[in-house]
């Protein structure tokens, strides 16, 4: 009985990522979102994604992509109003982890897995310009009442409204009412929504101040931003059995497991693996649940997904003037117009972060015009739910002038 009680207490104290719960809420509450999410994930998990060649190809406009970040601190007392130094410490961790410059890579990642480690070529900077062009420190601060539910209201007027989520990575820092939550982020299927970004408990943010062991090395931020750029947990969307459709993170070089790992396992271990191997589970990957000190890398396969995300759902981040602009030339700006996901069940998006566009025409396979729609947003939703299965051709215009052609497959 004592052993059982100890086990229950230990399990109840484990902190977890809340991303899956937030995803399920969207599926339950938004008609058609499940299909859209599946289409987007299939799109970004395709290792041969043609749109991503814009970033990977020999004429890629840059190597390292810089993402402007705004940090929103929502505090209930002075302790939770974390210092600039704590925020800066988190930024340093992100820039090291996403460039494979973290000092613990060789000591934490076993030799068998090191060749799979990837420099994701993403950098992060605190925003220097607000959406209206004013100077900023990249940090907002707001006192909230003691009964404020951080995980539910962070993005509402009671909390802090997001800065344009098509141009900034919004990070909200506060104190969760559920003490089992480390943080959560929204996957690319929610790109541009007012709640899009990530939330982190102040006790799990950065490496100083209120950050508390064993989550005081900034890896909750690294993990959650992985979700933001399209990565799932190694076991897929939920704790599903090995071999099931849901038990898949879409990454070929992360060994399949059916449950997370906690604390600091000893390498090698085949606990939770779907296939027993000499190297066992890749528990030291940033997307697992081990302690901060025991995770230290992304793989090349995970990098591909993040690049695909930056070439599609989060393309508009590339030309934000929040802190550093990609500065595309005209030809590159046109090439960067993204049509995704593809194939599609219900609706697809057209994103053009720099080239001006205002209208799309859609033609069926025999050349008949079947739809015309004005394009007024950075991320434009094009609904083709009523279309028959098949291939459709797009002509994209600005002020009556042809800009780009593309195609989309309705499945």
pLDDT tens track for 89-107: 999 999 999 999 999 999 9
pLDDT digits (tens, 9 = 90+) for 255-272: 999 999 999 999 999 999
How far apart CA 342 and CA 22 sit, in angstroms, is 24
For residue 167, is pLDDT > 80?
Answer: yes
Which candidate, 206, 204, 224, 229, places its Cα nearest to that of 214?
204
Q: What is the pLDDT of residue 378?
A: 85
Query: 299 near 231, Cβ under 8 Å?
Result: no
Token pair in block for residue 99: 């460039």
| Dihedrals phi, psi of 107, to nearest 5 degrees | -85, -25
Contacts of 63 (CB under 8 A, 6+ apart): 121
Question: Does an H or E element contain 404, and which?
Answer: strand 401-410
Specify which residues 54 forms β-bridges with: none
Q: Residue for token digits 């004005």? A: 374
Q: Residue for token digits 């990575």? A: 169
Token pair in block for residue 336: 């960067």
How far apart CA 281 and CA 234 sit, in angstroms, is 10
How far apart CA 253 and CA 118 sit, in angstroms, is 11
Q: What is the pLDDT of residue 17?
A: 95
pLDDT digits (tens, 9 = 90+) for 330-376: 777 787 789 999 999 999 999 988 789 999 999 998 889 999 999 99
Counting Cα atoms < 13 Å in the Cβ hemisphere of 12 gives 6
Token pair in block for residue 263: 């604390």
Q: What is the pLDDT of residue 57?
A: 59
Q: What is the pLDDT of residue 212?
A: 97
The answer to whether the predicted template modeling score (pTM) of the entire model surpasses 0.95 is no
- Of the listed ranges 76-80, 184-188, 252-256, 313-317, the one predicted with least confidence: 313-317
Q: What is the pLDDT of residue 237?
A: 79
Contacts for 135-138: CB closer than 8 Å, 24+ residues apart: 136/70, 137/84, 138/68, 138/69, 138/70, 138/71, 138/323
The set of catalytic residues is: 224
């Amino acid at each position: 009985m004592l052993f059982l009680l100890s086990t229950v207490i230990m399990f109840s104290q484990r902190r977890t990522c809340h991303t899956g719960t937030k995803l399920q809420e969207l599926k339950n509450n938004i008609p058609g979102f499940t299909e859209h999410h599946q289409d987007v994930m299939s799109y970004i998990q395709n290792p041969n994604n043609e749109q991503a060649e814009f970033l990977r190809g020999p004429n890629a406009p840059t190597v390292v992509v810089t993402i402007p970040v705004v940090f929103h601190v929502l505090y209930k007392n002075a302790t939770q109003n974390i210092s600039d130094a704590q925020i800066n410490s988190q930024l340093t961790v992100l820039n090291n982890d996403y460039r494979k410059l973290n000092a613990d890579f060789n000591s934490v990642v076993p030799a068998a897995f090191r060749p799979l480690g990837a420099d994701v070529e993403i950098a992060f900077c605190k925003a220097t310009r607000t959406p209206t062009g004013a100077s900023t420190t990249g940090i907002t601060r707001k006192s909230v009442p003691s009964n404020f539910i951080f995980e539910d209201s962070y993005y509402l007027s009671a909390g802090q409204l997001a800065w344009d989520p098509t141009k900034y990575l919004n990070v909200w820092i506060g104190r969760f009412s559920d003490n089992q939550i480390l943080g959560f982020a929204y996957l690319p299927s929610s790109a541009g929504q007012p709640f899009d970004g990530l939330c982190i408990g102040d006790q799990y943010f950065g490496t100083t101040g209120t950050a508390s062991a064993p989550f005081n090395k900034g890896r909750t931020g690294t993990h959650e931003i992985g979700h933001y750029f399209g990565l799932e947990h190694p076991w897929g969307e939920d704790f599903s059995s090995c071999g099931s459709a849901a038990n898949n993170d879409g990454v070929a070089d992360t060994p399949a497991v059916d449950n997370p790992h906690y604390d600091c396992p000893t390498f090698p271990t085949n606990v939770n693996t779907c296939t027993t191997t000499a190297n066992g589970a890749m528990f030291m990957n940033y997307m697992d649940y081990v302690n901060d000190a025991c995770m230290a890398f992304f793989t090349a396969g995970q990098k591909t997904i993040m690049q695909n995300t930056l070439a599609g759902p989060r393309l508009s981040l590339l030309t934000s003037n929040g802190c550093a602009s990609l500065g595309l030339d005209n030809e590159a700006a046109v090439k960067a117009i993204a049509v995704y996901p593809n194939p599609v069940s219900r609706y697809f998006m057209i994103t053009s972060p720099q080239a001006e566009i205002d209208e799309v025409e859609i033609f069926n396979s025999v050349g008949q015009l079947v739809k015309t729609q004005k394009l007024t947003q950075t991320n434009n939703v094009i609904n083709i739910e009523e279309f028959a299965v098949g291939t459709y051709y797009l002509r994209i215009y600005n002020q009556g002038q042809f800009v780009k052609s593309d195609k989309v497959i309705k499945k």
